[in-house]
Amino acid sequence: MSKETNKEKQCFVRQKTFFFAEVIEQDARNNLAKGKFLLAKDGFNDLCKIDKEKYLPELLACYYGMANEMIRNGQLSDAAQIADNIKALTGDKNEGSLDLLIAVKQKDYDAVARIYANLLFQGRGISDIPESSLATDALVVSFQEFPQLKSNCPEIYEELHAVQQALEDVSSERYEDAWLKVKKIAVHSFFSHWKLFIKGLVAFYK
């Protein structure tokens, strides 16, 4: 086979690959937009073999969509497997938002508190974390200190510690001490409802 014929063949293969990639890409994006995550995942999985850097974000979006549907339907072991697949694809072995949602569905609030604290430690904003209000409550009722928050999230750490100590003060009938510990918590704080709760306890028991 001449060099010229070989070049023509290579050119034809590249054009064919490009054509099929375009078709797969269009179908995959349409399926993703329609919430057909499994079909979209298959398409983006094939596209990642051609250009992983380009198509990985959309493949991950498919996995997240599939996992969220599974969590809503109570298919928690399947969702956990998807979460593991995402970690394998990204190389990030830390527990993430899906692990938090699975723990919430399982009502494993110790796990919720641990995962939430780790997400905050990793620099995730509270408003960017799903079920953040429930997870904040889980931090409180776990009665653990979560020292990893002390360096990265000092305000959260201090307010969490203040609420936990105030609850201990209420249980020991040290009502004034309890109120003094939480009175500086701001209205916009994620612990503000705990401040009001403790204020109500103090007013009731005094």
- What pLDDT does 145 receive? 83
Distances 134 to 1, 57, 147, 167 between C-alpha atoms, Å: 69, 28, 20, 18
- What pLDDT does 21 receive? 81
Q: Is 194 exposed, middle or buried (0-12, 13-18, 19+ CB in 10 A)?
A: buried
Distances 157 to 26, 175, 195 between C-alpha atoms, Å: 47, 22, 15
Say what the pTM is: 0.80
Distances 45 to 54, 56, 60, 78, 100 between C-alpha atoms, Å: 12, 8, 10, 19, 26
For the stretch 188-199, pLDDT in tens is 999 999 999 999
Q: Which two three-digit tokens encode residue 43?
A: 């398409």
Beta carbons of 180 and 161 less than 8 angstroms apart: no
- What pLDDT does 13 receive? 36
pLDDT tens digits in sequence order for the chain, 206 residues long: 444 445 443 443 344 344 478 889 999 999 999 999 999 999 999 999 889 999 999 999 999 999 999 999 999 999 999 999 999 998 887 778 999 999 999 999 999 999 999 999 988 888 889 999 999 999 999 999 888 898 889 999 999 999 999 999 999 999 999 999 999 999 999 999 999 999 999 999 87
- What pLDDT does 92 receive? 82
Q: Cβ–Cβ contacts within 10 Å for residue 31, how many?
A: 19
Least Cα distance to 195 among 161, 173, 152, 163 occurs for 163
Q: Which two three-digit tokens encode residue 85?
A: 């697949």
Distances 126 to 58, 97, 120, 122 between C-alpha atoms, Å: 24, 12, 7, 11
